[in-house]
Amino acid sequence: MMPSSKKRKVLITGAGGALGSLLVRAFRDRYQLRVATRERRDDDLFEGLEAHYASLADLETMEVLCSGIDTVVHLGGRSLEDSWDEIRTSNIEGTYCVFEAARRQAVRRVVYASSHHVGGFLPRARITSAGDELRPDGLYAVSKVFGEALGRLYADKHGLSVICQRIGVCRTAPPHRRSLWSWLSEPDFIHLTERCIEAEGVHFHVVYGVSNNTRKQWDDAGARAIGFFPNDDAERFVPQMQGHLDEPAFEARFQGGGFCADGFDGDPIRLD
């Protein structure tokens, strides 16, 4: 580990959420952390850390939070489908403010928490990669497409180093059939994020955040390129999921599963 005086200064947005909490616990000794969250907590998660309670959509505040920071790990925002007003404010305006504040404060890198739902309507029957077309399965997914595009812009136009994590289903254990291929274990998520922070020579990069699942359907070349080699495999959970493996036929066609079915009123015949 680097001497304490040389620790990277890392800002984690959304630090009070499920994934943010994992990183705070894992990285509090490795990095010099600054944490930001919208809701106050009544536990000791942030004890001894520089903690801020703020809206991501406040550019002036985000500039203050990015001052002196080496890397921003941007997890903040709405993590599920919601109203357009909430998605726009939290995930679109908030993400713009993060990237713009990072640019103004000369941050080295932004690690952006995207989602596998940016390709939700891609067929599940084939292996896909980061170069495949984007087919979001909801407004939440659209906001993640926006964030990836914004990261590309800030990398190309402003020289910011950007890594987008297309995070799968990150839980202690895979919760449903679809997650047998899209599961990202908590230790693998921590390892992925550490590699996103530490990887050298990155201009713009997209990596699928998924464990080493037997049934995975994403090409992992992007993971290998930054030294992410996941260890866990959802297959070991299959025996305890017996009786819970059925999935409606429509949902089973697509990578987004139930997100594709939610509110669907189109013509399924036209979907390839």
Beta-carbon contacts of 167 under 8 Å, excluding residues fewer than 6 positions away, are 19, 113, 114, 115, 116, 184, 189, 209
pLDDT band at 60 (very low <50, low <70, confident <90, very high): very high
Burial of 177 (0-12, 13-18, 19+ CB in 10 A): middle
Q: Check pLDDT > 80 for residue 1.
A: no
- CATH classification of the domain holding 266: 3.40.50.720
Q: Which residue has the higher pLDDT, 102 or 247?
A: 102
The tens digit of pLDDT for each residue in 119-160 reads: 999 999 889 999 999 999 999 999 999 999 999 999 999 999
Q: Which domain holds residue 190?
A: 4-270
- In percent, how much of the chain has pLDDT > 70? 97
Structural domains in the chain (count): 1
Q: What is the predicted pLDDT for the residue at 240?
A: 83
The pLDDT value given to residue 2: 46
The better pLDDT of the pair 188, 42 is held by 188
Of 31, 96, 112, 140, the catalytic one is 140
Helix (H, G, I), strand (E, B) or coil at 155: helix
Give how far Cα 191 sits from Cα of 139, 177, 221, 233, Å.
Answer: 29, 24, 16, 15
Q: What is the pLDDT of residue 3?
A: 43
pLDDT digits (tens, 9 = 90+) for 75-115: 999 988 999 999 999 999 999 999 999 999 999 999 999 99
53 catalytic per annotation: no
Angle (CA) 196 18 203, round 5°: 15
